[in-house]
Structure 1
Amino acid sequence: MPIINDNPYESLSFAIEDLKSKGYDKDFNQKEEYLECKQNKNNYKPEDFTITHAYRFEGMSSAGDNSVLYGIEAADGTKGLLVDAYGVYADSLSTEMIEKFRVEYEDPDEV
Structure 2
Amino acid sequence: MKNHYHYETVTEAIEQLREQGYTLDFNLEENCIVCDTDKFSADEFDIVEIYRYEGDSDPADEATVYGIQSKSGIKGILVTGFGNSSDNSMTNEILKKLKI
Q: Pick the TM interval, shorter chain.
A: 0.7 to 0.9
Larger Rg: 1
Residue in structure 2 matching 1:22, options 9, 15, 20:
20
Aligned residues of 1:7 and 1:56 also touching (Cα < 8 A) = no
Kindly tell me: are residues 76 and 101 of structure 1, through their superposed partners in 2, closer, same or farther at Cα, counting changes over 3 Å? Answer: closer
Letter in 1 for 2:29: K
Residue 64 (structure 1) aligns with? 60
Kindly tell me: are residues 47 and 102 of structure 1, through their superposed partners in 2, closer, same or farther at Cα, counting changes over 3 Å? Answer: closer
TM-score, reference length from structure 1: 0.74
The SS at the match of 1:43 is strand
Aligned residues of 1:49 and 1:72 also touching (Cα < 8 A) = yes
Question: What is the number of residues matched between the two proteins?
Answer: 98
Kindly tell me: are residues 57 and 7 of structure 1, through their superposed partners in 2, closer, same or farther at Cα, counting changes over 3 Å? Answer: farther
The answer to whether residue 75 in structure 2 is matched with residue 76 in structure 1 is no
Higher RCO (CA 8 Å, separation ≥ 6 residues): 1
Aligned residues of 1:26 and 1:80 also touching (Cα < 8 A) = yes
Question: Unaligned 5+ residue runs, structure 1?
Answer: 104-111
In percent, how many aligned pairs have the same letter? 34
Residue in structure 2 matching 1:100, options 93, 97, 100:
97
The SS at the match of 2:67 is strand
Letter in 2 for 1:59: G
Inter-partner Cα distance in structure 2 for 1:100 and 1:84? 15
Letter in 1 for 2:41: K
CA deviations 1:54-95 (Å, max 9, x no partner) are 10011122222110000010122110001111161223x287
